[in-house]
Amino acid sequence: MTLATGSKLGPYEILSLLGAGGMPDVYCARDTKLSRDVARKVLLSEVASDPERMARFKRMARLLALLNRTNIAAIYGSEECGSVSALIMELAEGPTLADRISHGPIALDEALSITPRAPKGSSSAEHLNSSGIAGGLPPGMRNGRLQH
């Protein structure tokens, strides 16, 4: 399901599509109650209609809500509006690592400025993994690995 710019789901107005693929489509949305922009991960209809995948999505939301780290976007909540299920998350602005890599090789000094931030996020995932509850984490967060 693609949401049109300007459409509203509850108190959220869709501003733009940030990314698509996997289980959710991710939109930049305006929280009209709190006057802030958020990331809204909307489950694709084929995922929402599959009980097993829906359970996985809800488990992932609960696990991510346990994390409170600088380098992991905060979960503000989850909601269902009609047939649409979504996670409401902190909007992390700026380019992704994939965007940066697409512009060519990263110089050593730039790479060194990026890498100290990565372990903080991956150590949280490693904690969940060692606690035996990481089965619901996306593959890129399991075992402290970072994937792009």
* Mean pLDDT of the 83-111 span: 84
Whole-angstrom Cα Rg for the chain:
16
Q: Is the pLDDT of residue 84 over 60?
A: yes
Residue 45 CB neighbours (<10 A): 12
Two structure tokens written together for 144: 């402290």
Q: What is the pLDDT of residues 20-65, one digit of tens each?
A: 876 788 999 999 999 999 999 888 777 778 888 888 888 888 888 8
8 vs 15: CA distance, rounded Å: 10
Walk me through the domains of the chain, giving residue ranges and CATH numbers: 1-93 (3.30.200.20), 97-148 (no CATH)
Two structure tokens written together for 24: 């959710």
* Mean pLDDT of the 61-71 span: 80
Q: What is the pLDDT of residues 17-26, one digit of tens each?
A: 988 876 788 9
pTM of this prediction?
A: 0.67
38 vs 87: CA distance, rounded Å: 10
Closest C-alpha to 19, from 41, 37, 49: 41
Q: Which range in 43-47, 89-93, 131-135, 143-147 is most confidently predicted, on average pLDDT?
A: 89-93
pLDDT reported for residue 44: 75
pLDDT reported for residue 145: 35
Confidence of residue 88 (pLDDT cuts 50, 70, 90): very high
Q: Is the pLDDT of residue 142 over 80?
A: no
82 vs 99: CA distance, rounded Å: 34
> Helix or strand or coil: residue 63?
helix
pLDDT reported for residue 147: 37
Q: Which residue has the higher pLDDT, 147 or 95?
A: 95
